[in-house]
Structure 1
Amino acid sequence: MTVIDTTPTTEATAFEEQYVPPRVELAVCPRTLNTYDGFTVSGRCTGSMVDDAVVEVCVSGVVRSARVDDDGAWTVRFEDGALGRRHAGVRPVTARVVDGLLNRAEVTAWVTVDEFEDGYVHVDERHEVVGGSGAGRTLSVSGVLGLGTHEAGRELVVVLVRDDAEACVVSTGTVRQGWRWGEWSARLPLDGVGPGAYRVRALLTDVAGADLTRTAVGRPFRLV
């Protein structure tokens, strides 16, 4: 009868003593988010075999990842619009890592994703021609607006268009500073613009996507 020695070797015992299971921590995690602005989540990983491991961060079902650097740090970036409108509410943020031995660690925090608020723009009914009928005259126009959730990505464009089926742009306005505070005003140059029926059109654009552009068209009026 042969007896097999199953006593662990010195090398195996030493490895088991040195091995440290993975651990992941959240260092920077926003308390509140909105559904269109990008954000970052960062933290640290510790353990014997986490160098260059992949950390996955899941926010309300949306996953982005990054690798652990030599110091154990990691940063995961979520681009503008990553969450989308459907993810508003109190949502979990979970960071996960798997080390070289396929052992897993994770940590979860909670964030509030604000309800998406759409922007709007409106054109006032009355406009004023400044400068008489000579060269250099302008059309003074105004209105109100709300920027909504994605405030940083909004821009306002004001144009004068013909009141016909083609609605050709005949003048582009200069929007005065301070328009982000709920009211806006602009001046449209009228050099080269002949008599006829026109409308003022205001476009509140958004860098997150063309589907977020809001347009307002004023009532028709005549220039003489």
Structure 2
Amino acid sequence: MRNESAEGKRISHVRNFQVLEKHEGKSIGLDVSEYQGKISWSYVDTLEKKYPLHFVFIRATVGKDRKDHRFNRNWLGAKENKMIRGAYHYYRPNENSLEQAALFIETVRLRKGDLPPILDIEKLPENQSLDNMKVGLKRWLKAVELHYGVKPIIYTGEKYYNDFLKDEFSNYLFWIANYNFYREEIDDDWLFWQFTEKASVPGIQGNVDVNIYNGDVEQLRYITVE
């Protein structure tokens, strides 16, 4: 476990407040995986005792053969806690894309009111070209869209988005990670912004990621599955 200095914690806390204040009225949410351990969902309600949490992205699958150990529990817990929930797949560029899509489809049943499926891509390929990796991403996205009848959202870091995805995947909506102290507002082109990985939330031990949706909670409901 990484120990943060008191000063580091204070700086990230101040930034979190500044960012949230600049986005009054926007919908705020979390993303979680098995790394958060056992979550007490009934306590997960507000951030900084002030900002209500409306949604949560939950990791479902990793690569072609691994389910997140806590997905089922988190998926149910979020629903019982009346949060708008979304499921994401952590994509491994060096594994077969259609096998990865099949695992996600087998694991995740979307219901009315859930967010569209999410593809999490952060790594570059080791044993194939970038072009081949993009073909794989497109295959995953198409297979998942065909199954659920809704276009997936893509999660990635801002640099990865600018360098590799922005042009070729411009017909998809993006959830972008950027924790830079100097970025203070969500970009107009981003659907969601993951602005910190160092927030404290009731019911969750340790740090958790926080996200801002580029709209209010009514607009968020508008993009859910019907």
TM-score, length-scaled by structure 2: 0.20
More helix by proportion, 1 or 2? 2
Structure ID, larger Rg: 1
More strand by proportion, 1 or 2? 1
Structure of higher RCO (CA pairs closer than 8 Å, 6+ residues apart): 2
